[in-house]
Structure 1
Amino acid sequence: MEYISTRGNVGKIGFVDAFLMGLADDGGLLVPYEIPVVSAAKLKEWQELSYQELVLEIFSLYTNDEIPYEDLKQMVYDAYATFRHPEVTPVHKLKDDLYLLELFHGPTFAFKDIALQFMGQLYTYVSRKQNKKIHILGATSGDTGASAIEGVKGKEGIKICILHPNGKVSKVQELQMTTVQEDNVLNLSVEGNFDDCQRIIKDLFADLEFKSANRLCAINSINFVRIMAQTVYYFYSYFQVAKQTGNSDAKVNFSVPTGNFGDIFAGYLAKRMGLPVDKLILATNENNILERFIKEGVYKPGDFRTTYSPSMDIQVASNFERYLYYVLGENPEQIRSLMDGFKAEGQIVVSGDALGKVQEEFAAHGVQGQECLDTIAAYNKETGYLLDPHSACGVAASDQQAKAGSVTISLATAHPAKFNEAIELVHIEQEFPAQIQALFNKPQRQTQVDGTQEAIVQEIVKFYNA
């Protein structure tokens, strides 16, 4: 397996080089030269594997044997040893046609742990093997930052700087990042929103001289390894539901709370690899640029909204370019033209056969604030299950978009304790896990900066060179 850029100006490179490059040097996103296809016979073999065994099977399709198997196995088992559930990502039945894939059993209680605990192991491995200092730079709408920091805090040879929008993450998300006291961690609380943070990150990675001089590596989902790791739980949950329903051949839907298009793109990749997926249901909130694209073929940012599901408060989705590349026939010249046009004009329009293909693969529903809260209250009353507001968006979208008689797996992306601000609004009292409760008694360490690139560059250069 080799990797190329969606914009066509990065030649075939290996897995480790793709991992370290993060954002492609031509400003595009790295994708596999060919998506590996898994046979029906192989899928049946995989049904009986543990989560860690399945990770190794899928990763082996992408890593080019660049990492010795025993080294890869050690990283995988070390990464998932930090999870509180033996299945890593267990499936919970909510009702006959709806299953919940619990992705919050990692150390920071969010789905980002699935990929980022492994990436922390991989960055540590590469730093040690290549005797290389690694400087991780990322932006977060809440969960990525805590999980990335957890994966590399205190690790020799690695420094990590995370940007988060000041006042626009939940209190628990903020505490998970800013109570970490290791000297290899810098939290920048940035005036603005997540899109502002993400734009600055992408601009810095696109400045190849700055990127090289400061040894920048990416932790956001612009890094393909994030996507690769997330494909695993689509396969794993499908196998678990197949066992529960007794039907190992039926297609299922996946309903995915979506902000940056990374998690649902992992589902798209799993489908392209051969997983029997019918619809990918894209759940957004009031920041519903992606819903409009699925329904109308227009990708155009609107006014930013602060919502009950802050991790989805995103207008410009980093991974959208990867999907465009595939739905438009893997044409890098067309992608370059579209992305240049988006930068100049602020929108992308897809129509005709391409839009038909989008609507064949995806459904979408923008969940408004009251609908989100009503879903939390209704499912808690009817099933006794407490959804966090992001997971509630996924369930609400499934209720709206799934066809009668079909089975849907909805992704539960975070533990409700991370978003008690929303839970309190539906008059539900929850008990915090001990790890989260303890955060409120710890001192915080963060640096507030204005939203200019100059101010952020000054802080990160000082940090990386200290």
Structure 2
Amino acid sequence: MHYISTRDASRTPVGFADILLGGLAPDGGLYLPAEYPQLDDATLTQWRTLLAEKGYAALAAEVLKLFIDDIPAEDIEAMTARAYTSSKFASEEIVPVTRLEGQLYLGHLSEGPTAAFKDMAMQLLGELFEYELGRRGETMNILGATSGDTGSSAEYAMRGRTGIRVFMLTPAGRMTPFQQAQMFGLDDPNIFNIAVDGVFDDCQDIVKAVSGDAEFKREYRIGAVNSINWARLVAQVVYYVSTWLKITETNDQQISFSVPTGNFGNICAGHVARQMGLPIDRLIVATNENDVLDDFFRTGAYRVRSAADTHKTSSPSMDISRASNFERFIFDLLGRDAGRTAELFGTRVRQGGFSLADDPAFAAAVGRFGFLSSRSTHSDRLETIRDCHERLGVLIDPHTADGIKAARSWAVDVDTPIVCLETALPVKFAETIDAAIGREPAVPERFAGILEADRHVAELPNDVEKVKQFIMESINNTEVR
């Protein structure tokens, strides 16, 4: 299994272990498999039995083996066994699936240590990073940006690990109090929180700028945990497989997914699973008022927005107007034309975006690739949360509400079961839950006292050089185990 950059016309092959630690490709592109592995009936039958008898960790190992051939199989199995355990996840199933109503289901991805779906990939990523760094005798300084949940999931997965520091950028004042407490309450010597005076897209731009400085990246051993890292995305493919296995009875039965997404990472994993041959009918992109992705799937125009035009919403983890992983899908949509992809996501995005409305490839976005989309507003979220709570007895977070609203809006046109992928537990968004149902959600016992913890965070301007300086000084003043 080799990987190629979305911007490399020569298709230079790279191994998994190298892209694991590298994040972005040197040309600024994102890595994808040179070819997607293909599933057959025998494999699906084997996996159905494996999940039932041995559980999620065993299934995860088998899925990962399709994408990784430079790590021994037994080591992959050991890592998934450590990553997906009942000591870290509140459910022994790891990803339970429940029926919400009719043909609509919930895939519960928030059973992990930070109550967010990001734990599904981050717990494995921590194992992979520590393993590969140990194998090479190296250290790494992870640089990431978060709009809410990625940061805490990454920090909880990496805290205390040998050879790793984490520098996580957050948009100052743009996360909920619970999200801030989860991150800023950590006092581990290898964890560094940075609150940037800007929005998430500014934080993401800083990460890309630092990662794009080849000399700085090499000297300070910068790595990535954001969804630009292929290892994180492939870990997410596993829960599409496990959810499909739980819903279906035969190997030719299709289901659809409704996925709240801002950075296009979560649903891009579904795209990969579908390209592998997993029987997925539709992939429904659920956005909030920051509806750049919904605009594209409706009109063919991808128009990025400035920080000033990025709305602060009640589903803040999706307050994103430049979706990093979207490049992976467009690469596939354009028949893997690296030159054109590089033009669109280099020059054209810097100029404000691009349109494929008149391109024959655009029709394939819905046809051959199965995408649909929808947009929600604050009032939609409140109504959906209230309805699910009062009528169905299920309390959901505002991002999941975006997903359920999208699923319902397409239910008449989609004749397969729709699984809405839950993104977080309601406790992370107490203010919005209170507005919807008249009271704040109960705090799970494992998070008791989290809001009272001391805060550990550096406040910095929206300035790449200032962030670089902070990273350099922190590395020079601390040691990793």
1:377 equivalent in alignment to 2:380: no
Written as runs of structure 1 = structure 2, the 5 A alignment for 1:234-249 is 234-242=240-248, 246=249, 248-249=251-252
Written as runs of structure 1 = structure 2, the 5 A alignment for 1:104-123 is 104-123=110-129
For 1:51, give the aligned amino acid. Y
Written as runs of structure 1 = structure 2, the 5 A alignment for 1:251-266 is 251-266=254-269
Gaps of 5+ in 2: none
1:87-138, CA deviations, whole angstroms, 9 ceiling, x for partnerless residues?
1111011012001000000000000000001101111111211110111110
Report the alpha carbon displacement of residue 458 of structure 1 after superposing the two structures with TM: 1.2
**Which residue of structure 2 aligns with residue 273 of structure 1?**
276
**Which residue of structure 2 aligns with residue 2 of structure 1?**
2
Gaps of 5+ in 1: none
Match of 1:424 among 417, 427, 434: 434
**Which residue of structure 1 aligns with residue 234 of structure 2?**
228
Q: Look up the SS of the partner of 2:450 in the other structure.
A: helix
Match of 1:185 among 191, 194, 205: 191
Separation in 2 of the partners of 1:53 and 1:121? 15
Separation in 2 of the partners of 1:20 and 1:304? 31
For 2:80, give the aligned amino acid. V
Separation in 1 of the partners of 2:440 and 2:170? 28
Report the alpha carbon displacement of residue 248 of structure 1 after superposing the two structures with TM: 4.6
Match of 1:145 among 151, 159, 171: 151
1:52 equivalent in alignment to 2:49: no
1:9-54, CA deviations, whole angstroms, 9 ceiling, x for partnerless residues?
6621111001111100110001111110111221122112221111
Match of 1:451 among 462, 471, 474: 462
Separation in 1 of the partners of 2:476 and 2:126? 21
TM-score by length of 2: 0.94
Over the residues paired in the alignment, what is the CA RMSD in angstroms? 1.2
Written as runs of structure 1 = structure 2, the 5 A alignment for 1:220-369 is 220-242=226-248, 246=249, 248-302=251-305, 303-351=309-357, 352-360=359-367, 361-369=370-378
Q: Look up the SS of the partner of 1:465 in the other structure.
A: helix
Separation in 1 of the partners of 2:449 and 2:76? 33
**Which residue of structure 1 aligns with residue 103 of structure 2?**
97
Contact 2:257/2:284 (<8 A) preserved: yes
Contact 1:253/1:406 (<8 A) preserved: yes
Separation in 2 of the partners of 1:14 and 1:247? 35
Separation in 2 of the partners of 1:127 and 1:311? 30
Separation in 2 of the partners of 1:220 and 1:46? 28
Separation in 2 of the partners of 1:450 and 1:376? 36
1:40-81, CA deviations, whole angstroms, 9 ceiling, x for partnerless residues?
2211221122211111111001111x2122221111111112
Q: Choose 344-353 or 158-167, whichever is displaced more.
A: 344-353
Written as runs of structure 1 = structure 2, the 5 A alignment for 1:63-102 is 63-64=68-69, 66-81=70-85, 82-102=88-108
For 1:410, give the aligned amino acid. C
For 1:266, give the aligned amino acid. A
Runs of 4+ off more than 3 Å: none
**Which residue of structure 1 aligns with residue 472 of structure 2?**
461
Q: Look up the SS of the partner of 1:12 in the other structure.
A: coil
Contact 1:286/1:367 (<8 A) preserved: yes
Contact 1:10/1:24 (<8 A) preserved: no
1:398 equivalent in alignment to 2:412: no
Report the alpha carbon displacement of residue 463 of structure 1 after superposing the two structures with TM: 1.2
Separation in 1 of the partners of 2:136 and 2:337? 35
Identity among equivalent positions (%) equals 39
Report the alpha carbon displacement of residue 438 of structure 1 after superposing the two structures with TM: 1.9
Q: Look up the SS of the partner of 1:47 in the other structure.
A: helix
Q: Look up the SS of the partner of 2:448 in the other structure.
A: helix
**Which residue of structure 1 aligns with residue 66 of structure 2?**
61
